[in-house]
Amino acid sequence: MSTWIDFNLVKETAKPRFGEILERYGLAGERKGSEILLRCPFHEEAKPSCRVNTERGIFHCFGCDAKGNVLDFVAKKERVPIKRAAELVGEWLGVAAAREAEAAKPPRTEARADRSTKPSPTRAPSTSPRSAEESAPNKPLTFSLQLDPKHPYLAERGLSADLIETFGLGYCARGVLKGRIAIPIHDERGCLVAYAGRWPGDPPEGEERYKLPTGFRKSEVLFNLHRVAGSEHLIVVEGFFQAFRLHALRIPTVALMGTALSERQESLLTTSGAKRVTLLLDGNDAGRTAAAAIAPRLARRLPIRIADLPDGEQPDTATDATLTRLLATS
């Protein structure tokens, strides 16, 4: 039986107890106020270069540039998805997780003589976490696809084995995404809510390059947000492979899955913990028009900057030098 995790509750509980998490791994460091300086557990180093801020619940290694919040730390250390990291931290710190099957059960009602199915007008709506989840536009999936992560198209796009594993990518041999590269999509809590299918290469006539499941509302999700929530600076791009490219460069990135920013996505972005945002949309008319429309909306709540790519360039095709130049002053 799977569990429903309140990511915010787990993260907020773990923030001031980051030191306990370090102790579980036998990691000790020098404490100065709310900061702990220690040797980074993610690469070999002679002198401590990893700083943990227990007040904010974040870490940053200035040697290998590993960074994120306490859940990111555990996910990286355990080599597990962020949802599993939240489950582990919840277990360690005593934060209860509601069992989906129990939370999903409807409230018991007295048997009615007429066996009518008409609901009582005085019945209060359920307020359980699962009930809210059930009414959400994108419900968590109850299955996962069996995918081949070694399809040559992934290597052709420059994706490393580690990156493929991180994002759970792979070729789908059957089902509605048959013949496509499947891309798992998670909501802000880390729950798997959909798979996008990308045709490997140019699609044949009559086939769309991307396929999304019927009923899935991409406007309710920011791709990759669950991995980078809590980062002070977020980069916003249009597509999946652009997010992969910047993630490989250790740049916290979310994707709109298009050029439009919905009210829901705006809310997710402005409550993610980010202190500032850079729009890195495609270097074409559509991308620049979208950036010009999105920037004023976000600027009401966050410092916002537009990084203008050269004509015809995209974040996944631009050189490292171009990306470094555009993002250096962000």
- Could you read off the pLDDT of 181-218 as tens digits, one per residue? 999 999 998 999 999 999 999 999 888 999 999 889 99
- Could you read off the pLDDT of 269-321 as tens digits, one per residue? 999 999 999 999 999 999 999 999 999 999 988 899 999 999 999 999 999 88
CATH topology classification for 152-219: DNA primase DNAg catalytic core, N-terminal domain (3.90.980)
Residue 176 Ramachandran class (φ > 0 left, ψ -120 to 50 alpha, else beta):
alpha
Location of each CATH 3.90.580.10 domain in the chain: 3-93
pLDDT at residue 113 greater than cutoff 50: no
Q: Encode 28-82 in three state secondary structure.
A: CCEEECCEEEECCCCCCCCCCCEEEECCCCEEEECCCCCEEEHHHHHHHHHCCCH
Location of each CATH 3.90.980.10 domain in the chain: 152-219
Location of each CATH 3.40.1360.10 domain in the chain: 225-328
- Could you read off the pLDDT of 83-105 as tens digits, one per residue? 788 888 888 887 754 433 333 33
Looking at the domain that runs over 225-328, which CATH code has it been given? Answer: 3.40.1360.10
Percentage of residues in the chain with pLDDT exceeding 70? 85
Looking at the domain that runs over 3-93, which CATH code has it been given? Answer: 3.90.580.10
> Model pTM?
0.61
